Amino acid sequence: MPCERRGCARLTVLPRACRVYVESMAKLHFHYSTMNAGKSTALLQASYNYIEQGMETMLFIAALDDRAGKGRIGSRIGLSAEASMFGPDSDIFAMVAERLRGGPVHCVFVDEAQFLMEEQVWQLARVADRLGVPVMAYGLRTDFRGRLFPGSEALLAIADELREVRTICRCGRKATMVVRLGPDGKVLHQGAQIVIGAAQYVSLCRRHWEEEMGRMPAEDMVGFARL
């Protein structure tokens, strides 16, 4: 039987030499950015590209993120898809392995990957290393305080490939940070790391983030600091 090199699924019917080749292609990818950079849109488009070629994908979304509905990944431009949910105690490796028993999976996609636990990031690595399925994780790098999320920290440490999904600050520079706004529209300097739903976020470059967080004096009249 010929080796299906276009896919990266664990196909147990393949000869061992072919399985080794297929599994060696699988990697753990981390696509990171700040808020409103189009991560979910990119994920859904990438999954669709697989499906369009007759391949199977498996999507995951954090259970605490129900903005598009429970068990759905949604984008700001209206795209959405059903996804398996993961919580802090979910064994993602076992979930993928169970799905593989019913047929091939050519790629695993994880949205809101910053909410993964460190052990779950290692589970994703094992999906690539031991099941031969590539994993594409999409998430925030830092929170509104400029601190790494646990899941993002682990992904930055062990992912095979890192890719920044870019958006821009109000000044035109690349946005790498995010601020959280309160109900009055003012920047919040403290609060829980994770707030889903009602919170409003704005992506900024590092310079303007420092000004909005009060770490440096504001040097322009644009933004929230002087309102």
The answer for residues whose C-beta is within 8 angstroms of residue 132's C-beta and 6 or more apart is: 8, 9, 10, 19, 22, 23, 25, 26
The dihedrals phi and psi of 212, each to the nearest 5 degrees, come to -65, -30
Catalytic residue among 52, 56, 112, 210: 112
The answer for residues whose C-beta is within 8 angstroms of residue 125's C-beta and 6 or more apart is: 28, 135, 158
Residue 147 has a CB neighbour count (10 Å cut-off) of: 12
Contact predicate 141/177, CB 8 Å: no
What is the number of residues in the chain? 227
48: which 2 tokens? 């669709």
Return the closest-CA partner of residue 108 out of 89, 94, 119, 118. Answer: 94
Whether 112 is catalytic is yes
DSSP string of 86-150, one letter each residue:
E-TT--HHHHHHHHHTTS---EEEESSGGG--HHHHHHHHHHHHHH---EEEEEESB-TTS-B-H
Q: Any idea which residues carry the catalytic annotation? A: 112
